[in-house]
Amino acid sequence: EFSIEKTRADGFWQESVQLVLSVKPEKGWLGRVFDLAKAVFRGQGNETSQEEQTGKNASWISEWLEDTISAKPVFTDSFDLKSGLGQKSMASGNTAISLSFDYSSRIKLGSSMYFGIGAGIWQSMTIQKLNKPWSFGYSFSIDGKLVF
């Protein structure tokens, strides 16, 4: 995905270019974490069978979870690069330049569960008459969704 955005209003203007790449790896690093979590959930290494574990204490939640975890997972990795140039007001005459990069990895199980992890960094510089202050930052995100 590639997008260009232009905004103008009352002396304010901003232009940005964004490039997004999404790939669907066969497994990836999040897939290996999922395999480990699935092994822990199912109690791999125990001598008891699955029927004995679910037995008469099984609930609809454990049945739903088992069905969801047994579904074939779909993995998505996304890379997002965005750069921008803009001016907050004509009165100040300050121009801002920004650059950001975001990465996220997501696993989707059927239509009832997804889990994602992301990280990003950004940097901006405001060009003023005598100085050029820099700012930078980072973000981490975890998101998920369950549908019963």
Question: What is the average per-residue pLDDT within 72-101?
Answer: 86
Residue 86 pairs with which residues in a beta bridge?
Answer: 14, 96
pLDDT over 70 at 58, yes or no: no
| Alpha carbons 30 and 33: distance in angstroms, whole number | 5
Q: Given this model, what pLDDT does residue 113 score?
A: 86
pLDDT over 70 at 11, yes or no: no
Q: Which of 101, 7, 113 is nearest to 61 (CA)?
A: 113
Global pTM reads: 0.70
